[in-house]
């Protein structure tokens, strides 16, 4: 597995990371613990050194899972986690966000224990808090870095103004936001800004929440607890309308004797040398398939063909329901 540096900083990780959220929440029932630990450890053995979690995944359960799974490999891996959503005293998910400096520091202490580490490699603000100045958020993380409890500061789903304000106080190592052939909006403003400031980009949902794999169509039924049930872009009508983007990657994949998922990941990796996608999975065969995306090389002609065809596709449906849409891009 090749490695990449996230922007101008010293954080060097595998070209593909592993998003661990789906092992505990979001896409149906949580996976069986021993099976999920096996997938995480298989990722390490196949060269993945970058693992993504958050206190809200579960809540808490995913950090505990990742901490246990990676304990034997601590010196070989980097773990990213996140703060900023409200969690009740018994681990219940509450509405709203909370990035008060005192709360950030409380979350850091709790995450360190759950992850079984002495320092958090990358600590993201999960969503911008409109009630807390970004300077105060960055300042709190800066203090955690100075105290040796955090190594790098990140933002998730932040807008350009928030990124600039945070970066002026504490250099931002990485931005985590959605980016794929299923969602190319970051190309307009965010990617040029990250390049200007020397910030790495960690795309989540690089396979379009599974849509780009070609395994989902208008007739697919999701588990009752699957987040995609409330995502407008995953309504049956939107899935049918958005099929051309799947047909695009499938056509390229067939020619290259690859899978659609591998083409989608290879396309992302080809965009910038400081982009590190974090596809998630609960299944070892899918993990191994995704790894093939890191070794698939798309030619300039391939990339031009994909861009030209993708530019002609107008995707249908918002990527979040309205109440969550309000939390992004601020």
If one counts every other C-beta atom within 10 angstroms of the C-beta of residue 26, the result is: 17
Sign of the dihedral defined by the CA atoms of residues 51, 279, 321, 27, in that order: negative
Distant-in-sequence contacts of 188-191, Cβ < 8 A, 24+ apart: 189/160, 190/160, 190/163, 191/271, 191/272
* Active-site residue, 179 included: no
> Rounded to 5 degrees, what angle do the CA atoms 54, 58, 59 make?
70
Centre a 10 Å sphere on the Cβ of residue 273 and count the other Cβ atoms it contains. 11
Q: How far is CA 221 from the centre of its chain?
A: 24
Partnered with residue 120 across adjacent β-strands are 150
Q: Name the active-site residue from 57, 124, 179, 320.
A: 57
Write out the DSSP string of 96-151: EE---HHHHHHHHHHHHHHHT-SSEEEEEESS--TTS-HHHHHHHHHHHHHTTSEE
Q: Looking at residue 60, what DSSP letter applies?
A: T
Question: What CA–CA distances, in Å, run from 143 to 105, 124, 128, 129, 155?
Answer: 9, 14, 19, 19, 16
* Active site (catalytic) residues: 57
């Amino acid at each position: 597995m090749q490695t990449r540096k996230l922007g101008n900083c010293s954080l060097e990780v595998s070209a593909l990371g592993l998003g661990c959220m789906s092992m505990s929440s979001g896409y149906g029932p949580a996976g069986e613990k021993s099976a999920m630990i096996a997938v995480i450890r298989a990722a390490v053995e196949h060269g993945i050194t970058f693992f993504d979690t958050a206190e809200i995944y579960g809540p808490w359960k995913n950090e505990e899972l990742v901490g246990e799974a990676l304990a034997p490999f601590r010196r070989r891996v980097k773990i990213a986690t996140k703060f900023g959503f409200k969690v009740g005293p018994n681990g219940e998910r509450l509405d709203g966000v909370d990035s008060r400096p005192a709360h950030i520091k409380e979350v850091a202490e709790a995450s360190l224990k759950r992850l079984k580490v002495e320092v958090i490699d990358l600590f993201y603000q999960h969503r911008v808090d409109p009630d807390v100045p970004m300077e105060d958020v960055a300042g709190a993380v800066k203090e955690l870095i100075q105290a040796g409890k955090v190594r790098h500061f990140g933002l998730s789903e932040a807008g350009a103004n928030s990124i600039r304000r945070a970066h002026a106080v504490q250099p931002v190592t990485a931005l985590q936001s959605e980016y794929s052939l299923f969602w190319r909006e970051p190309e307009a403003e965010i990617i040029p800004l990250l390049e200007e400031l020397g910030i790495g980009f960690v795309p989540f949902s690089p396979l379009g929440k599974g849509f780009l794999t070609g395994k989902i169509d208008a007739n697919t039924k999701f588990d009752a607890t699957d987040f995609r049930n409330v995502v407008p872009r995953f309504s049956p009508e939107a899935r049918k309308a958005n099929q051309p983007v799947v047909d695009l990657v499938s056509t390229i994949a067939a020619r290259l004797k690859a899978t659609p998922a591998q083409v989608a990941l290879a396309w992302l990796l080809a965009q910038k040398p400081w982009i590190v996608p974090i596809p998630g999975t609960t299944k070892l065969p899918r993990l191994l398939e995704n790894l093939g995306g890191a070794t698939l090389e798309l030619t300039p002609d391939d990339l031009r063909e994909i861009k030209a065809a993708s530019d002609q596709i107008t995707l249908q449906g918002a990527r979040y329901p309205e109440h969550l849409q309000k939390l992004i891009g601020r």
